[in-house]
Amino acid sequence: MYTMNPTKPVILTGVRANNDIHIGNYFGAILPIVDMAKRRSADFDINLFIPDLHSFTTPIDHSKLYDSILNNARIYTAAGLPLDNQAIHLYRQSRVPAHSELAWILDCFTGFGEMSRMTQFKDKSDKLHGDQISVGLFNYPVLMAADILLYNATYVPVGDDQTQHLEFTRDIAERMNRKFGELFTVPKPVAEQHQFFGKDQGLRIKDLANPTKKMSKSDDTGKGVIFLGDDPQAAHKKIMSATTDSLGKVQYDRENQPGISNLLEILTLVRQDAGRDVTLEQTISEFTGMERYGDFKRIVADETAEFLTNFQARLAAVDEPAIEAKLQSSEQAMNLVANQTLHRVQKAVGLRR
Ligand code: ADP
Ligand code: TRP
């Protein structure tokens, strides 16, 4: 069994359990996290967790949840996460009960008005009606704060849509510290986090059918989205019918040729995934000036289909027992760390001596 090293600072992040992971999530979130974990694990403890309790803040098909939780761990593994690295902890939120317990305590120190200002709640609840809008969706950021504060995390790499939640985490930690003494490590301010994670933040793959929009699983038609589980031939077709422009010349120009620019980016990413040492600049110079979009698209489509074939083979070949063992040992270790924090808080609020 291993534990966290108390002198090492902690980087913590979670990606929601979901079976519909698309190449935007993969190249924009999962791969950067895996790379970061590999690069930083000498100096940091890396907590990668699956926020499975967050999975049903909006309605889902519960018969698929268990499998999609494991699928998250499989995808990290297929993306290259080294399971034998003792500084990387891979665990399910629901297997560390302290998350829920701390969330309840923090709930009681969180203002209703403060939660009401969270824009993600407004965005998500706008798309639901009546009792579909749960109290869980409303106070989800409080659980997220507990996820972070239990482990004294200093760095929390998340997308822009989570910035407000991270700020809330800092606020509640500071408020509790003022009231009860030094209880929590306050995560670094968001600007400092951006500086620390640098280039990992910016990447945005666009929807193939509508390249001014980001690729997103909430796209209704699915025509512009390539999911990791797509049949490679179907993905090939999606790229062949990707929206381009009438300028008739391949150029990297996000403003005037968003479709072509997006394809240049996708091509670079799938080539990098295949182990080729290429930059976007090199891809751009290879194709700039090409006049037949059909030929260009075919190259992108072929290589993307090849990426999917390879990825799906990697996914099918992951070592299931090793993943299960990793989850179990991380969860055992994380319960120890999380309970230490929880007990400190329980003492502070008067639940324990
Ligand atoms: P979706 O928009 O498909 O619902 P999420 O909001 O669940 O995706 O995002 C999960 C993670 O994937 C986030 O870290 C987000 O920044 C990243 N991500 C989502 N869409 C893209 C995209 N099109 N390009 C790059 N990264 C993305
Ligand atoms: N809310 C995050 C998302 O939707 C997932 C998440 C839950 C998370 N708890 C977290 C991310 C703690 C970082 C830290 O993407």
Q: Which tens digit of pLDDT belongs to each residue from 229-267? A: 999 999 999 999 999 999 999 999 999 999 999 999 999
With beta carbons less than 8 A apart as the criterion, state whether 148 and 184 touch.
no
CA of 158 to the centre of ligand 1 (A): 10
Give me the residues of the chain with pLDDT under 50, please.
1-2
Backbone φ and ψ for 10, nearest 5 degrees, come out as -115, 135
* Residue 217 falls in the annotated catalytic set: yes
pLDDT score of 173? 98
Would you call 12 helix, strand, or coil by DSSP?
Answer: strand
pLDDT score of 16? 74
pLDDT score of 3? 55
Judged by its nearest atom, the ligand closest to the C-alpha of residue 145 is 2
CA of 32 to the centre of ligand 1 (A): 12
**Residue 218 CB less than 6 A away from ligand 1:** yes
**Residue 14 CB less than 6 A away from ligand 1:** no
CA distances from 337 to 96, 106, 211 (A): 10, 18, 44
pTM: 0.92
pLDDT score of 217? 83
